[in-house]
Amino acid sequence: MNPAIDTRDLSFAYKDRGVLHAVSLSVEKGEMVGILGPNGSGKTTLLRVLSAVLDAQGEIKLNGRNIATYGRRELSKLFAVVAQESHVNFPYTVAEIVLMGRASYHSPFALEGKKDLAVARASMELTDCLSLSDRYLHELSGGEKQRVMIARALAQEPEILLLDEPSAFLDLKHQVQVFELLRRLNRERVLTIVGALHDLNLAALFFSRLVMLREGKIYRDGSPREVLTEKTIDEVYGIRVRVEPDPSGEKPQLFICPSS
Partner 1 sequence: MKVLDRRRMILVNGVLLALLALSVVGCALLGPVRLDLSQALQDIFSANPDAEILFRARLPRILLGVAIGGGMAACGVVLQALLGNPLACPQMLGVSGGASLGGILGLILFPHWLLPIAGGLLGEISWVPLAAFLGALLSMMLVYRFSLFHGRLHPYHLLLSGVIFNSFVAAVIMFLNSIVDFYQAQGLLFWLMGSLSTRAYLTVAFIWAYIIVGFLWLWAKGLSLNLITLGEEAAMQLGVETVALQRQIFVASSLMIGAMVSVSGMIGFVGLMIPHVVRLIVGSDHRLLLPASFLAGGIFLCWADTLARILLAPAELPVGIITAFFGGPFFLFLLYREGSRKLAL
Q: Can you tell me which of 16, 17, 69, 111 binds partner 1, judged by CB under 8 A? A: 111
Cα–Cα distance measured from residue 218 to residue 234, given in angstroms and rounded to the nearest whole number? 16
What CA–CA distances, in Å, run from 194 to 26, 27, 97, 161, 178? Answer: 11, 8, 23, 6, 14
Answer yes or no whether residue 127 interacts with partner 1 by CB under 8 A. no
**Region binding partner 1 by CB under 8 A among candidate stretches 90-98, 179-187, 193-201, 250-258:** 90-98
User: How many Cα atoms within 13 Å fall on the side-chain side of residue 114?
Assistant: 0
What CA–CA distances, in Å, run from 125 to 119, 143, 260? Answer: 10, 16, 47
**Region binding partner 1 by CB under 8 A among candidate stretches 35-43, 110-118, 200-208, 233-241:** 110-118
Answer yes or no whether residue 129 interacts with partner 1 by CB under 8 A. no
What CA–CA distances, in Å, run from 60 to 50, 229, 256? Answer: 8, 30, 37
Residue (120 or 202) nearer to partner 1, CB: 120
Answer yes or no whether residue 254 interacts with partner 1 by CB under 8 A. no
Residue (51 or 232) nearer to partner 1, CB: 51
Answer yes or no whether residue 59 interacts with partner 1 by CB under 8 A. no
Residue 54 sits at φ, ψ, to 5 deg, of: -115, 150
Cα–Cα distance measured from residue 77 to residue 186, given in angstroms and rounded to the nearest whole number? 17
Q: Which ranges of the chain does DSSP label H, i.e. alpha helix?
A: 43-50, 72-78, 94-99, 114-126, 142-155, 172-189, 200-206, 224-227, 230-237
Q: Can you tell me which of 19, 35, 95, 150 binds partner 1, judged by CB under 8 A? A: 95
Q: Can you tell me which of 123, 133, 146, 186 binds partner 1, judged by CB under 8 A? A: 133
**Region binding partner 1 by CB under 8 A among candidate stretches 78-86, 180-188, 203-211, 238-246:** 78-86
Total H helices, total E strands in the chain: 9, 13
To the nearest whole angstrom, how small is the minimum distance from the Cβ of residue 112 to partner 1? 7
Bridge partners of residue 164, in order along the sequence:
196
Cα–Cα distance measured from residue 34 to residue 193, given in angstroms and rounded to the nearest whole number? 8
The contact pattern for partner 1, residues 196-235, with x = CB under 8 A and - = no contact, is ----------------------------------------
Answer yes or no whether residue 109 interacts with partner 1 by CB under 8 A. yes
The contact pattern for partner 1, residues 153-172, with x = CB under 8 A and - = no contact, is ---x----------------
Residue (193 or 204) nearer to partner 1, CB: 193
Which stretches of the chain bind partner 1, using CB under 8 A?
A: 48, 51-53, 72-73, 75-77, 80-81, 83, 86-93, 95-97, 99-101, 103-104, 108-109, 111-112, 117, 120-121, 130, 133-134, 136-139, 156
